[in-house]
């Protein structure tokens, strides 16, 4: 059985990795249409945001004053690894396809990951999978839509 600390880190890292990276690549694509900017953004998120999220989980777990040091570090490390590795998977389509096609592949990949994990969560909570999946995908879609239009807005500003 997987312990609470690992579940915390993995679930947070996967979800944050997918939603943050999809928002970033869609926004950067809309704003720059630059493959190098999108790839640079993915790599930056993989490192900086993975460390940031891991530290956030570390401090959050410490603040609850109910976890051992070992449990806190398990959550910290699993958050970093999950965020880092899931984020890096989005670089693969950027290398393999044109940027427009890579964005579509990334969206499909990200929604697939969220759907599979949401299905798992629904099953362990005895909830209707379609409700949990729909809720999580809609939240991701809101983030993606906002970042797309934000990228459009930024690209229209003349500096």
The model's pLDDT over 109-132, given as tens digits with 9 standing for 90+, comes to: 999 999 999 999 999 999 999 999
Query: Rounded mean pLDDT of 132-148?
Result: 97
Q: Which of 150, 107, 116 is nearest to 136 (CA)?
A: 116
Q: Residue 1 pLDDT more than 70?
A: no
CA distance 97 to 144: 20
CA distance 130 to 39: 33
Helix, coil or strand: residue 81: helix
> Which are the contacts of 150, defined by CB distance < 8 A and separation ≥ 6?
27, 30, 31
Structure tokens at 138: 């809609």
- Ordered by start, the domain boundaries in the chain are 4-153
């Amino acid at each position: 059985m997987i312990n609470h600390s690992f579940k915390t880190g993995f679930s947070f890292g996967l979800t944050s990795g997918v939603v943050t990276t999809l928002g970033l690549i869609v926004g950067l694509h809309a704003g720059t249409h630059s493959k190098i900017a999108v790839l640079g953004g993915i790599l930056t998120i993989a490192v900086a945001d993975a460390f940031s999220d891991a530290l956030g989980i570390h401090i959050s777990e410490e603040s609850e004053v109910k976890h051992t040091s070992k449990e806190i570090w398990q959550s910290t490390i699993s958050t970093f690894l999950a965020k880092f590795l899931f984020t890096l998977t989005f670089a693969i389509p950027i290398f393999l396809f044109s940027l427009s096609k890579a964005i579509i592949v990334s969206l499909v990949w990200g929604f697939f990951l969220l759907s599979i994990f949401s299905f798992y969560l629904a099953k362990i909570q005895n909830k209707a999978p379609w409700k949990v999946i729909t809720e999580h995908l809609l939240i991701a879609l809101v983030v993606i839509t906002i970042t797309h239009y934000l990228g459009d807005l930024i690209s229209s500003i003349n500096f």
